[in-house]
């Protein structure tokens, strides 16, 4: 019987997840369908009832439900628990298990472009919101030792570091402090919404002190190349946009559900095609 998967969010109509997962199901010859469900906050409980009733095999969770969903699940994976957000749920014979594949998706994408032993590297993360937290804790859980966090509100960076359940050497920095010592880092990861459409003229950080050869990643994919990435490229950086993270968070979820590895490149092509 055809298996049902999906994504819940509010809004959800522009989600690229259905076309990405349905392409992967078709390519692997799996009898499955992935649907976008528009679920409001007050309907989460009833959605969970529907998951059990209809035997929905798994689903993604997007804005604004990633934290709220947690109380409705039977078990939370330890990394998702540390991050405090779930973006993927597996229905394991009626037991609903929550995972967070955002951080893993980022790391997979990073390693596809930057073939470095990241554990040894000195990394700067810009921003201290939900995306930063997923990436920071995932890198820390993998044993990366040196990650600084720069944020407009330095206290938020400090609190992210204090709550990190993994051993790590980290400093909280203001944006200016980070810009003033940028040559220290071999990778810079931009996780704020600065530079996203329609505010494409904004940059989160001055790049004067960026070393050539630094890996610079921006999790934004609209536009595909933010002003921040263009400036980094001019300084000789290896740049990466947010498409890789998006595709790989989906691929990791797909693997949790089906135990199969989808073709990352064709998922990426579909997403790039949709983004135009
Ligand atoms: P997400 O879940 O996408 O990471 P978030 O939790 O709202 O989003 O976090 C947004 C991040 O972008 C924060 O680091 C925020 O900085 P503050 O903690 O100081 O608010 C940062 N951010 C957003 N808009 C910003 C702006 N105009 N200038 C500087 N930082 C900004």
CA of 194 to the centre of ligand 1 (A): 8
Report how far residue 132's alpha carbon sits from residue 139's, in angstroms, rounded to the nearest whole number. Answer: 11
CA of 107 to the centre of ligand 1 (A): 21
CA of 153 to the centre of ligand 1 (A): 9
What local confidence, expressed as pLDDT, does residue 276 receive? 83
Residues 176 and 158 in one domain: yes
Q: Parallel, antiparallel, or unpaired: how do β-strands 172-173 and 146-150 relate?
A: parallel
What local confidence, expressed as pLDDT, does residue 13 receive? 96
User: Is 191 near ligand 1, meaning CB less than 6 Å away?
Assistant: yes
* Closest protein CA for atom 12 of ligand 1: 192
* Closest protein CA for atom 2 of ligand 1: 130
Q: Which residues lie closer than 8 Å to 258 by C-beta, 6 or more apart?
A: 28, 30, 32
User: Is 17 near ligand 1, meaning CB less than 6 Å away?
Assistant: no
> Could you read off the pLDDT of 33-42 as tens digits, one per residue?
999 999 999 9
Residues 249 and 122 in one domain: no
Share of the chain above pLDDT 90, in %: 99
Residues 184 and 199 in one domain: yes
Q: How far is CA 273 from CA 19, 40, 276, in A?
A: 11, 29, 5
Only one residue has tokens 């740049």, namely 239
What local confidence, expressed as pLDDT, does residue 19 receive? 97
What local confidence, expressed as pLDDT, does residue 117 receive? 92
Question: In 10 A of CB 169, how many CB atoms?
Answer: 11
Report how far residue 257's alpha carbon sits from residue 115's, in angstroms, rounded to the nearest whole number. Answer: 27
Question: Which H or E run contains 271?
Answer: helix 264-275
Contact 131, 102 (CB under 8 A): yes
Residues 115 and 77 in one domain: no
Report how far residue 96's alpha carbon sits from residue 72's, in angstroms, rounded to the nearest whole number. Answer: 9
By most ligand atoms within 8 Å of CB, the mutation choice from 86, 102, 127 for ligand 1 is: 127
Residues 189 and 255 in one domain: no
57 is in an annotated binding site: no
Residues 131 and 235 in one domain: yes
Phi, psi (deg, nearest 5) at residue 148:
-95, 150
Contact 164, 100 (CB under 8 A): no
Residues 156 and 180 in one domain: yes
17 is in an annotated binding site: yes
Q: How far is CA 184 from CA 58, 180, 217, in A?
A: 42, 10, 16
Contact 59, 254 (CB under 8 A): no
CA of 193 to the centre of ligand 1 (A): 6
> Could you read off the pLDDT of 112-127 as tens digits, one per residue?
999 889 999 999 999 9
* Closest protein CA for atom 25 of ligand 1: 194
Given the CA of residue 133, which atom of ligand 1 is nearest to it?
Answer: 4
Least confident of 68-77, 81-90, 110-119: 110-119
Share of the chain above pLDDT 70, in %: 100
What local confidence, expressed as pLDDT, does residue 86 receive? 98
User: Is 192 near ligand 1, meaning CB less than 6 Å away?
Assistant: yes
87 is in an annotated binding site: yes
What local confidence, expressed as pLDDT, does residue 12 receive? 98
Radius of gyration, alpha carbons of the chain: 19
User: Is 109 near ligand 1, meaning CB less than 6 Å away?
Assistant: no
Residues 178 and 92 in one domain: no
Q: At 28, which CATH number?
A: 3.40.50.10860
* pTM of the predicted model as reported, rounded to 2 decimal places: 0.97
Nearest Cα to Cα of residue 77 among 260, 255, 256: 256
Residues 168 and 120 in one domain: yes
- What is the separation of C-alpha 162 from the centre of its chain, rounded to a whole number of angstroms? 21
236 is in an annotated binding site: no
Residues 114 and 209 in one domain: yes
What local confidence, expressed as pLDDT, does residue 200 receive? 97
What local confidence, expressed as pLDDT, does residue 272 receive? 97
Mean pLDDT of the residues in the chain: 97
- pLDDT band of 84, cuts 50, 70, 90: very high
Q: At 142, which CATH number?
A: 3.40.50.720
- Tokens representing residue 56 in the block: 């929905």
- Tokens representing residue 96 in the block: 């609903």
What local confidence, expressed as pLDDT, does residue 144 receive? 96
Residues 145 and 197 in one domain: yes
Does the pLDDT of residue 180 top 90, yes or no? Answer: yes
231 is in an annotated binding site: no
* Closest protein CA for atom 7 of ligand 1: 129
What is the tally of structural domains in the chain? Answer: 2
Residues classed as catalytic: 66
Q: In what order do the strands lie in the sheet with 215-218?
A: 172-173, 146-150, 122-126, 187-190, 215-218, 238-240
Q: What's the domain range around 82?
A: 3-100+244-275
> Could you read off the pLDDT of 101-154 as tens digits, one per residue?
999 999 999 999 998 899 999 999 999 999 999 999 999 999 999 999 999 999
Residues 201 and 76 in one domain: no
Contact 85, 31 (CB under 8 A): no
């Amino acid at each position: 019987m055809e298996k049902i998967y999906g994504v819940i969010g509010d809004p959800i109509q522009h989600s690229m997840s259905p076309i990405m997962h349905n392409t992967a199901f078709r390519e692997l010859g799996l009898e499955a369908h992935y649907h976008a469900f528009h679920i409001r906050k007050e309907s989460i409980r009833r959605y969970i009832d529907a998951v059990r009733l209809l035997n929905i095999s798994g689903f993604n969770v997007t804005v604004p439900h990633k934290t709220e969903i947690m109380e409705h699940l039977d078990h939370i994976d330890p990394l998702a628990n540390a991050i405090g957000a779930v973006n993927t749920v597996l229905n394991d014979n009626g037991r609903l298990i929550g995972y967070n594949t955002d951080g893993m998706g980022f790391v997979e994408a990073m390693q596809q472009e930057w073939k470095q032993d990241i554990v040894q590297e000195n990394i700067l993360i810009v921003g201290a919101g939900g995306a930063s937290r997923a990436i920071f804790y995932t890198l820390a859980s993998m044993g990366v030792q040196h990650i600084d966090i720069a944020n407009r509100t330095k206290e938020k960076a400090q609190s992210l570091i204090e709550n990190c359940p993994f051993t790590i050497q980290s400093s909280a920095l203001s944006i200016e402090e980070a810009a003033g010592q940028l040559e220290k880092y071999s990778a810079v990861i931009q996780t704020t919404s600065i530079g996203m459409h329609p505010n494409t003229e904004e940059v989160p950080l001055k790049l004067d002190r960026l070393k050539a050869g630094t890996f610079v990643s921006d999790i934004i994919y609209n536009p595909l190349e933010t002003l921040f990435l263009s400036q980094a490229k001019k300084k000789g950086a290896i740049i990466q946009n947010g498409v890789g993270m998006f595709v790989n968070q989906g691929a990791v979820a797909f693997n949790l559900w089906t135990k199969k590895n989808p073709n990352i490149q064709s998922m990426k092509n579909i997403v790039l095609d949709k983004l135009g």
